[in-house]
Structure formats: C-alpha cells, structure tokens
Structure 1
Amino acid sequence: MPWFVLGLCGVTNSGKTTTASRLKELYPNSVHIKQDDYFLAEDDPRHVIIQGLNHQNWELITSVDMDKMVEDIVGTLAMDPPELRLLILDGFLLFADPRTASACHLKIYLELDYETCRARRNQRTYDPPDVPGYFDQVVWPEAENAKHFMFSKNSDIVVLDGKLPEHVIVDILKKIIKRLVGREDAG
C-alpha cells in the first residue's frame, strides 16, 4: 500500500480543513485535496437556484466538479512513492460520491450540532456571501440530508465530535493511522 487515504467529511465548519492542515504539517510528505477547491464557478449554469432566495445552492454535490476531483485523486494515487504516504481528502460531501468514498481507507465524519455549526459559520465570510435565510433554509437541511445519505451508503464511517479541541482530534487520528498502517511516520 504506497498510499493511505484518509477521508475527512462533515458539515460546514466542522474542522475538516483545519484538521487536514494540521495532519499535513505532521506528515510533510502527505498530499491534501480539498473538495472546496472544486466548486463550480459562481456563474456556472449547472447551479441549482433556490427559489425564494434567488441564490445558488452550494450545498449540493452538483455544485462541485466531482469528475475533476476524482481525476486529481486518481492522478495522485498513480504516483508510486518509494514509501508509504498519506493522502488526505477533505470535503462536506466526500462520502456522497462512491468514487471518493471507495478511495478512502479511513472515513472520518466530524459531527457538529446546529448551534455550534451556525455560530462558526457566522464567524466566516463566504464568496459569494450567504443571503439571509441561507443557513436555516439550505445549509443545515442539506447537511442533514447528506449525512443520512452518506451513512446509508457507507457502513464504515467513524464519527468524531467536531467540538473537540483540534489537537485531540489530530491525536486520535494519528493513533488510528498508526494502528492501521503499523507506522507512526506514514506521511
């Protein structure tokens, strides 16, 4: 196994990218691929427009160029590193696509409750910005629907509390990775 693939999934602002970035620091030879980097352009005609809000629904898998993401994952995995390396995939709908879900040796879902998720989201700026009502009418309901769908399709998802301190989540993941690959330096 030249690559160990870790999938980090969860609702918006659950700590996926923060955790992935910290792991990338700990495992300097690792590769990090973020689903957020594959969002369609704002003016892409494939977006679903939310009636009543006159805003794109960025919470659907159709708002992400999954074919390009999968192409980049396949390209990374085709590289033949001389030693075991860590590929970190991070995305809010990572396990909704069977191609990305099946690539993961370890699937982690960072869970957040509504209040924490909303509070964290309110602290960030989005481009395009959220319109009034977007979180309650779209973000949270879509996240709940996606979670149920992903868990119905993937019985091997490990759930971690996204409210845990970052270092605790990272320590848990380091221990799991070490146990699964048998090495501390897998990265």
Structure 2
Amino acid sequence: MDSIKKKTCLKSVMGMARGSLLQSVLLVIFWCGISGQTCTKDIVYSKDYYTQPVSESFEIGMTEAMARMEKVLPKFGYNIIQQDEAQHKFITGWRPVEADSHYVFLFARRDYGITDGTYYQLLVDLIQQGSKVKVALSTKVKTIVGPLESSKKVEQRILKQLADDFRSPQIEITNVEMRKK
C-alpha cells in the first residue's frame, strides 16, 4: 500500500514538474517574442536641449569676425551647414559628443559616461557691441538620456583659437594688461 502511494505521489510530482517546465518554456518563448519586437520598434525619441552660451568679446569688426569664424570652425572639424550673414549666426552639422564635452549632473557630480548615442550642433552668435564683437558659442544637444550640460571644453578651444587669431601682430605688455600697438 505504501509503495502504491509513493508511486502515485511520484507520478503527481513528475506531472507537475513537466507542466511547470512546459509553462516555463512557453513563458520564455512568449517573452522573447514580445521583447524581440519591441527592440525593433521606435519607442523612445530624442529631445533637443540647449546649453548655456560661452562668450568672449574681441576688438575687431563684424566682417573680420565672420570671415575668421568661417575658417576656424572647419579647422576643428565642424561642417558649417547654415550661415546667416544678416543675423551673424553659424550652425554646424551634427557630431557625436566627445568623451569630455557633455555630461549629466547626477548624484551631485558630473557623469560623462551615459552620453553614448548623443549628438550635438555648435551654435555661433556674433553680436556687435560698439567697437567689439561678442562671440557666443553654445550647443544644441539631441539625446534620449535627458538634459545634458556642456563642460565648455569645445567652446573654450574655439574661443582660444579666435583669441590667438585676433591678437595684433604688434603688442605691448604692461603690468596691467597686454594691448596692441
């Protein structure tokens, strides 16, 4: 009698195990079918974010500033896709963010690691201010991550090159400043 109960109990357990295994296999197949389709469909779309401009003023004319900007941007690998002579603006083509160019402020620190798949355009505004021209550089960022901030490294590189280019060949240095002769 005990052996009959044991065999019946064993058959019952094996039947549940087979049913459980079959259910598990079907669940995995179902999950793979659903998740495989969702990976091939667009679910999340990028948003555009604008960074704060970095600017510097130079003692030059607007014509010279526009001409110099046309040369400096390609020097750094930027393709100018839009140039507005009347508004004194430049827009470059889309480029992937560099390893240290943009970041997400996360957990009270800069996180540069989650910017993969993010692209940016460089936006240049030239503003006449009396005898000077203010060059303002900012970026338009396209990402699915969230609002990114600029580390200002890209903008500073270009402004530094402009400062070198606009420096007069004849300068005078005093204890207060450097000025052109």
TM-score (norm 1): 0.24
Task: Flag the structure with larger Rg.
Answer: 2
Structure (1/2) with the larger strand percentage: 2
TM-score (norm 2): 0.24
